[in-house]
Structure 1
Amino acid sequence: MSESPNRGQLNLPVIDISPFISWDSPENDDNATNSDTPKESQDGNGAAHPQAHLPKPTTAADLTPAQRTTVAALRAAVRHPGFFYLTGHGVPSALMHRVLSLGQQFYTAADSLPQKRSIARRPCGDRYGDGARGWQDVDAVARNDWHEALDFYAEISGQDQVAAHRAFKAARPDVWPGVDGLLEGRNLYPQRPAAMRDVYPDYVARLCSVGEAVMRALGFALELRDPEFFVGATRDSFWCLRVLGYPPLPPAFRKKEGEDDEKEAVEDDDEEDEEMVGCVRVAGGEEDDSDPEKQQQKEEQWVDADPLPGAYVVNIGDMVEQWTGGWATSTVHKVLHHGDGYRISVPFFYEPAKHVVVRRLPEFGGTEADPEVRYWDHLVSKIDGSFFRKRTTW
């Protein structure tokens, strides 16, 4: 376990995912495991990406000792606190820093505003608009939303994908009226920095492989009858990559002693600023699975999620909470940014395929009569609440 650069003590569990993934590249030879055939990876333009080796144990009896250690730690982390550091993922640190550096250039270069406006998010049908992709500006009215965002999503491309999605929507004409064409566009890249167009797809391809490894380990951690269930549900993941920019707050908006800002958790590229530390809200202690009467909510508290070099901070998210019927919960989290610098964060959301039906699993007491959520509906509802009422004209 590495030391936190800020306080010297980590408050979140550390999960080593390397027993479930290794890479066919020189920089990651030290992560080799009992891997099977490398996973081929291409972006929408057919460009090849580094290949991941993803072991596929069939049953719990097939797990190696290292995999068992990962699975046990993951089960405990998902139950409490629902956040954890992920190490052993094999994504080169140079690539992680490059992604952040390109985001910094996009937001702070001398010609940044024209670049942003050239790919500003627009409503469906307005020029290149699909209601979600592209850049959106700082909301100067809502203090708790003081950031910029450049959003990328999986693309709906190819005749089969387009036809299946149109058939899905045609069968449900009363659902989400007025958003026809939502998320059916292409990802938008600025002219500068030009490298973003090549670097970001490679980064996403790597993270999708990491996501598959985590989903496979999670299937074993939650002791599912079909350990590959989560892998199947997230195959063809409708992922999202957000490049978030947090400018310094004006003096009038700086946090005062005792105030509480609710914002999303991010990964920080400035590890030396004491004020720029994310944190998560968790129960006051572990819950006792062996006695239902002892499974009571304890006093909540905020704990720091200090940056751990080379690690990702992972939140299990809304869909795992739905699948487990609340056994695992999507933890409330925020970020504290009160420094004078411009903060960059690039969170990645590894999501189910767009048409997947999500309901409580039988392992957690679920039945066919339980309420269900179509992932596409969940996604549209979040975009509707976040984007549709903000400025879209320039």
Structure 2
Amino acid sequence: MDSLPIISLEKLKDLSSPSGNAEHKQLYETCLEHGFFYLKDHGIPSELVQKTIEASRHFFQLPKEIKQAYSQDKQTVYPQTSRGYSPLYGETLNGQTGADPKELFDLGLERPPSDKPFTGSTLIPDNKVAPGFASYHYQLQEEIINKVVPPLLQGLAVALNKEPHWFDPYFDDPILIHRVIHYPPHLGSAGKHTDTGIFTILIQEYFSDPSLRIYAQTGWIYADCLENTFVINLGDMLQYWTNGLLVSTAHEVIHTLPHSRISIPIFVFPNHNTLIQPMGTDKTINSTDVMLDNFQSIWVDKSGSGRAQELKQ
């Protein structure tokens, strides 16, 4: 395989047949073989995506002291590393390669203050400080959570020979890690890792030369930027849920172009303290414990994200 398969979200919405259609079968084969694919026909306005990317670039161009006013240590959500601004070399996605040369800002679903991990409100710059940054991101987030996440979950359920709404009870109040990343010119990177959630929705800024590399069956390949598509990759929680049938796919970013790159991954997790029962077993895995362990691994132990320690390729 030298390019990723393309799946139509619109076709996945067709649930007229209990066993699904050809698109559901392609989704199953794609998830089984690759764990990464392009999603087209997602219904998210390209103008909104572009405005969000532009507002994000303007935020990262702000002086360091302004960005640091919204840093992780100023946040009130637990863990603090799940929200706010992190500077270059703040995050370690792979302990073997060390801290990543990238800036990022994390937000989530806006909720009242809570003792629940990953739940609450984000300290984020307003329009006076960073015009459009918060408003466009929250608008994009609402579109994603309403138009993309539910039909994609239903499509996965059908592909796994479950009834379409099988996942719904676990995602009626999901946790999102909504991230925007700024890769600087020439040296931006994110170490080899896997994501922890059920899946990740990645919005790539369009460039003719790609920076995202994924580990396919035949080795590492670059994921070209295709206009009006998102990149979807499976995470560790779906691997746990399917008892290893569908495997989270390793990936990394190597950005060497002479201009910066904006990337917007949205990591989708089930409801707080969801008990995942690997299919065909009586075991249970607490989803929030998995998230907390992963944040410990990334930000405290600095050994990496997901299955990073397994990745020797």
Fold conserved (TM > 0.5)?
yes
Residue 223 (str. 1) matches residue 181 (str. 2): no
Q: How does 1:34-73 map to 2 (within 5 A)?
A: 60=18, 68-73=21-26
Which residue in 2 is equivalent to 1:235?
172
Residue 197 (str. 1) matches residue 189 (str. 2): no
| 1:277 paired residue among 181, 197, 211 | 211
Kindly tell me: are residues 263 and 146 of structure 1, through their superposed partners in 2, closer, same or farther at Cα, counting changes over 3 Å? farther
Residue 327 (str. 1) matches residue 262 (str. 2): no
1:267 is displaced (CA, Å) by: 4.4
| 1:211 paired residue among 119, 142, 149 | 149
Highest Rg: 1 or 2? 1
Q: Distance in 2 between matches of 1:79 and 1:263?
A: 19
Which residue in 2 is equivalent to 1:378?
290
Q: Structure 1, residues 255-300: CA drift from partner, whole Å, max 9, x if none?
A: 9xxxx9636796432413x3x431211223xxxxxxxxxxxxxxxx
Other structure's SS at 1:96 match: helix
Structure 1: runs of 5 or more not aligned: 1-8, 22-54, 167-180, 285-300
| 1:147 paired residue among 66, 90, 102 | 102
Residue 79 (str. 1) matches residue 71 (str. 2): no
1:347 is displaced (CA, Å) by: 0.5
| 1:262 paired residue among 192, 196, 214 | 192
Which residue in 1 is equivalent to 2:84?
134
Kindly tell me: are residues 71 and 278 of structure 1, through their superposed partners in 2, closer, same or farther at Cα, counting changes over 3 Å? same
Contact 1:130 1:182 in 2 (8 A): no
**Structure 1 ranges of 4+ moved more than 3 A:** 123-126, 128-131, 140-144, 181-185, 263-268
Q: Distance in 2 between matches of 1:326 and 1:11?
A: 24
Which residue in 1 is equivalent to 2:67?
116
Other structure's SS at 1:241 match: strand
| Residue identity opposite 1:154 in structure 2 | L
Contact 1:123 1:129 in 2 (8 A): no
Contact 1:130 1:185 in 2 (8 A): no
Q: Structure 1, residues 107-149: CA drift from partner, whole Å, max 9, x if none?
A: 12xx3323311101117769x9844211011118965511111
1:204 is displaced (CA, Å) by: 0.7
Q: Structure 1, residues 181-219: CA drift from partner, whole Å, max 9, x if none?
A: 753441121132232222111111111120111000110
Other structure's SS at 1:106 match: helix
Identity rate, percent: 23
Kindly tell me: are residues 129 and 278 of structure 1, through their superposed partners in 2, closer, same or farther at Cα, counting changes over 3 Å? closer
Q: How does 1:355-394 map to 2 (within 5 A)?
A: 355-361=273-279, 366-368=280-282, 370=283, 372-388=284-300
Which residue in 2 is equivalent to 1:13?
5
Contact 2:8 2:42 in 1 (8 A): yes
Kindly tell me: are residues 227 and 359 of structure 1, through their superposed partners in 2, closer, same or farther at Cα, counting changes over 3 Å? same
Contact 1:87 1:310 in 2 (8 A): yes
Q: Distance in 1 between matches of 2:81 and 2:257?
A: 32
Task: Report how many residues are paired.
Answer: 288
Q: Distance in 2 between matches of 1:215 and 1:243?
A: 23
| 1:345 paired residue among 231, 248, 263 | 263
In terms of fraction of residues, the more strand-rich structure is: 2
Q: Structure 1, residues 67-120: CA drift from partner, whole Å, max 9, x if none?
A: x12211111111011100000110011111111111111112xx3323311101
Which residue in 1 is equivalent to 2:51?
98
| Residue identity opposite 2:240 in structure 1 | Q
Kindly tell me: are residues 308 and 249 of structure 1, through their superposed partners in 2, closer, same or farther at Cα, counting changes over 3 Å? closer
Kindly tell me: are residues 90 and 184 of structure 1, through their superposed partners in 2, closer, same or farther at Cα, counting changes over 3 Å? closer
